[in-house]
Amino acid sequence: MQARLTNNIFIVLLILIAILLSVVSSFAEPITYSYDDANRLILENRNGVIIEYIYDQVGNLLQKKLHNISVVPRSHNFGLLKVGESASQTFTVSSTGSETIMVSAVGLTGDVFSCVDCPDPAPFSIVGDTCTGNIISSSQSCNIQIVFSPSTIEQSIINASLVITFDSPNSFTVAIPLTGTVDDRRQLTVTVTGDGSVTSSPSGIDCGDICSYLFNNESLVILTANPDANSTLLGWTGCNAVDGNDCLVLMDTDRDITAEFSTEAVSPTTMWGDTVPQAQANNGGEVELGVKFRTSVDGAITGIRFYKVAGDTGTHTAHLWDRNGNLLASATFTDETSGGWQEVDFTAPVAVSADTTYIASYHTNMFMYTLEYFTAAVTNGALRFLANGEDGGNGVYLYGPVSFPVNTYYSANYWVDVAFEAGTAP
């Protein structure tokens, strides 16, 4: 019986020891001890949980005070900041025990405060303090505000500590770890004016779309100007050096670069331009007159032109048809002159496909014509007016109100024209 009791007691002791070791190991921060001149223990500091030993004049222990001090947060990482940026954090100090505490001082320590060539200003600073000089009773609190604002990129990771000093009556401190990282990359911002884009090597800038990027400090970035069709690079602003279409930029600070391109309106292609027809006039009544055409590339028809007979004062309407007679667009001519070439734009450009036949026509009461003109095809750039017989007859007409013109007469040219823009249609 005695042996069994002894074994049970031994097991209980082992359990208690295991629990004690678990509790001790749960403290992430070391315990420090402070002694007076007589080598008596006066403080046991668990960085927030303080046991204070108070003695009488002859060295007898009179009292043990338990100070339970809370600082929230217990540490702080201010993150990644560039030079000139700042981040702020407020630390709340409170007494969660039964004893009052007095904050006698608040300060910052670390290499950035004790070096020979410390940065000026220091990266960490105290900008708010309602704690120093105040007595904090149980369940009361005060605040300390810290700002991280790096002024140099020489040190990428910066560590420091917020040190809070208490008196009660012995002096003790609580240290709060602080960390901040300096982003040593530099911002490159590109502005594009006119018709073009800019890319970079190393990659990062693709402007148009991406016009700002962070590059490593002191790195060399080559920006390349890419003019659009019918545009040219007029010049760079802000480069260290220029080589043709390339702008060389040393990223020793944030940089702003401008690439200026020309902005030129692209003139649509027409077949007849300013040609004055050698033709005859006819006033045989209302009629729809047209021409069959194709393009060698995809694009859009923006409008239709016709050569006006002097004395023609009627209303004229333009029409664009597909090969099967489906009307694709129409418009009424306005602000006409007394004679010569007249042009009207459609409300929106009309997409046309390469190597596909379309018919451009206009409705009038008087017109110009030249017989046996389309015995061969006529070409200007990507625009082609078909030869008679290439896809049925060319030089088409139909008397009466607006309708799809299907008749032909001696390959006649009725001096109808189109305005064509090559490229992807809207």
Structure confidence at residue 157 (pLDDT): 87
Task: Report which residue type is found at 167.
Answer: D
| DSSP structure string for 39-98 | --EEEEE-SSEEEEEEE-TTS-EEEEEEEEEEEESS-EEEEEEETT--EEEEEEEEE-SS
Among 116-120, 170-174, 262-266, 341-345, the range scoring the smallest mean pLDDT is: 116-120
Q: How many CB atoms within 10 Å of residue 79?
A: 12
Structure confidence at residue 48 (pLDDT): 61
For the chain, what percent of residues have pLDDT higher than 70?
Answer: 85
The Cα–Cα gap between 194 and 258 comes to 11
**Position 94 pLDDT exceeds 60:** yes
Asked if residues 169 and 84 have their Cβ atoms less than 8 Å apart, the reply is: no
The reported pTM is: 0.47
Among 154-168, 182-196, 301-315, 392-406, the range scoring the smallest mean pLDDT is: 154-168
**Position 26 pLDDT exceeds 60:** no
**Position 23 pLDDT exceeds 70:** no
Q: What would the pLDDT profile of 121-147 be if each residue is shown by its tens digit? A: 688 999 999 999 998 888 789 999 999
The Cα–Cα gap between 423 and 426 comes to 9
What the chain holds in terms of domains, given with CATH numbers, is 50-181 (2.60.40.10), 185-261 (no CATH), 280-422 (2.60.120.820)
- C-alpha to C-alpha distances, 15 to 7, 10, 21, 224, 323, nearest whole angstrom: 12, 9, 10, 73, 97
The Cα–Cα gap between 336 and 359 comes to 23
Q: What would the pLDDT profile of 320-340 be if each residue is shown by its tens digit? A: 999 999 999 999 999 999 999
> 243-246: long-range contacts (C-beta < 8 A, 24 or more apart)?
246/222
